[in-house]
Chains A and B, each alone.
Chain A
Amino acid sequence: MVGIWILIAVVLMVVLLLIAVYNGLVQKRVRCQSAWSQIDVQLKRRYDLIPNLVETVKGYAAHESETLEAVIQARNTAIDAKGIAEQAGAENMLTGALGKLFALSESYPDLKANENFSQLQEELTTTENKIAFARQHYNDSAAVYNTARMKFPNNMVANMFGFTDQEYFELEDAAQKEAPKVSF
């Protein structure tokens, strides 16, 4: 009789542990997903800001069409990009093109003095930063989730219910990693 009760108690404890581990993993995975969606929100915001910026710059520096074209091209490539790796590449192109555009604005005092332009510059700066921070937060969340997933006994539960590794958002080299955090 006592043996049965002990058995029931042990089974109950194992089930409770299983539930706790499962819910913990779900929570951490959801955090990764919401962090990922934040990146998309910021990327979208950047795509929306760019046409506005290009129009403003055109008014002052129309003959710099090459740089402006490059920005628009990079934007469109980035919008169409599929998959994390391709997107990372396209986004870096766009960041580079924007950097060139803002560097160019240095030689147009009238443009720099334009209030609309300085507002757009601040908005783009913050959006660039937000993209970088959102990615950083995604990677941090993914690291927390991946670590939790690999630990014992979580790894058994993870394998049982198909919790797969969360892919990190990686940039090719350290220099590019720094690039998004620019103050124009």
Chain B
Amino acid sequence: MAGETFHTLIARNRRNSFILIGGFMLFFVAMGLLIGMVWGGGHAAFSITVAAIAGIVAFVLTLASYFGGSSALLGMSRAKEIVKGDDPQLFNVVEEICLAGGMPVPRIYLIDDTAMNAFATGRNPQNASVAITVGLRAKLSRDELQGVMAHELSHVRNYDILYAMLMAVMVGVLVMLCDIFLRSVLWGGAGRRRSRSSNEKGNPLQLVLIVVALVLAIIAPILARIIQMSLSRQREYLADAGSVELTRNPEGLISALNKLGGDTEVLEVANRATAGLYFVHPIKKFEKRASSIFSTHPPIEGRVERLRQLTV
């Protein structure tokens, strides 16, 4: 890993997150097929229908959140849009990064909170917004600000908002599907009745299938969250590498991360739903055990370590 360039780092992160998303999609479809199989008593057409419905629901919900999510997020975080006259340097820094990436300048928002954090949202570079807390804005030097803003704009450039929403919706639908399935079995629902009528003798294979489906339905939501968080951490590393690609200066980002590492203040406007979007985890006690498989962000030390190994 030593002596890596940001090109190889970006390629590797991108590949890892595609493996995660692809793996999760397979898992999602397999779970749908399995549950459908138990419900339908082994009818292939029925199980495919269940998987397809789950897939379509996830797709439609993703699109809805994709187009409406941005303004909701900014509103939830109580972010206020600012103009160039309010903070020329911040605008200049963002404009610089946009030139480096050949992308349009996003809208810029300020969050009135002394905690140090920033986030980006928007479905594509043409409809992007970046937000930064007053606390972070005040404490960063120009170079550090550049690194942080480049990290946020990398999220936009990499379509991370789309990935995060896709994953959130798929996890949600999967959890719901497993929940419905577990209830249906517990209350002696469709599964058992149908299997009895279609197969009077009680096929042992069918029984095994039910047991496997039950066990999977219990652990699937947990597994889904682990994959979701793993993808989130992967995208953070990718945005760090992307930041260096834009600024060609890892030092700014490293020193910003170190500054943030010392900050223990909780960002009040953040919650579990929006935590994944921020520059560092907004609830700092999470950051301490961020190596945990349920964290949205990698530990700051890990991010600094990877940046230090970059040769620009």
What residues make up the interface of A, taking CB atoms closer than 8 Å to B?
A: 31, 34-35, 38, 42, 119, 122-123, 125-126, 129-130, 133-134, 136-137, 141, 181, 183
Please tell me if B249 contacts chain A, counting CB pairs below 8 Å.
yes
Q: Are A136's CB and B248's CB within 8 A?
A: yes
7 A-B pairs within 8 Å (CB atoms) are namely A125-B92, A125-B142, A129-B92, A133-B96, A137-B99, A137-B100, A183-B142
Q: Using known A-B contacts A136-B248, A183-B143, determine if residue A126 contacts B92 with beta carbons closer than 8 Å.
A: yes
Which of A34, A38, A126 is the most central at the interface, judged by chain B CB atoms within 10 Å of its CB?
A126
- Supposing A136-B248, A181-B249, A183-B142 touch, asked if A126 and B99 sit within 8 A by C-beta, the answer is no
* Cα distance, A136 to B249, chains bound together (Å): 13
- Nearest-CB residue, chain A, relative to B93: A126
A residues less than 8 Å from B89 (CB atoms): 122, 126
Docked-complex contact B100 and A133, CB < 8 angstroms: yes
For A133, the closest partner residue in chain B by CB is B100
The docked-state distance in angstroms from the alpha carbon of A23 to that of B93 is 34
9 further interface pairs, Cβ-Cβ under 8 Å (given A123-B92, A129-B92, A129-B96): A31-B102, A42-B99, A122-B89, A122-B92, A126-B92, A126-B96, A133-B96, A133-B99, A137-B99
User: What number of residue pairs across chains A and B have CB atoms under 8 A from each other?
Assistant: 41
* Contact assessment for A38 and B92 in the assembled complex, using a CB-CB cutoff below 8 Å: no
Report A-chain residues with C-beta under 8 Å of the C-beta of B143. 183
Q: Shortest distance in angstroms between B312's beta carbon and chain A's nearest beta carbon?
A: 11
Q: Which secondary structure dominates where chain B touches chain A?
A: helix
5 shortest interchain CB distances as A-B pairs: A126-B92, A133-B100, A133-B99, A129-B96, A134-B99
Q: Report B234-259 residues with CB < 8 Å from chain A CB.
A: 246, 248-249
Q: Does B97 reach chain A (CB closer than 8 Å)?
A: yes
Which residues of the other chain, B, contact A38 by a CB distance below 8 angstroms?
99
| B102–A141 touching, CB < 8 Å | yes
Bound form: Cα–Cα A130–B99 in Å: 7
- The answer to the question of B75 belonging to the interface, with a C-beta cut-off of 8 Å to chain A, is no
B146: nearest chain-A partner, CB-CB: A129
Across-interface contacts of B142 in A (CB, < 8 A): 125, 183
**B265 proximal to A (CB < 8 A):** no
Q: Which residues of A contact B100 (CB under 8 A)?
A: 133-134, 136-137
B306 to chain A, nearest CB (A): 22
Contact of B101 among A42, A123, A126, A137 (CB under 8 A): A137
Task: List B contacts of A42 (CB < 8 A).
Answer: 99
Q: How far is the CA of A129 from the CA of B142 in the complex (A)?
A: 11
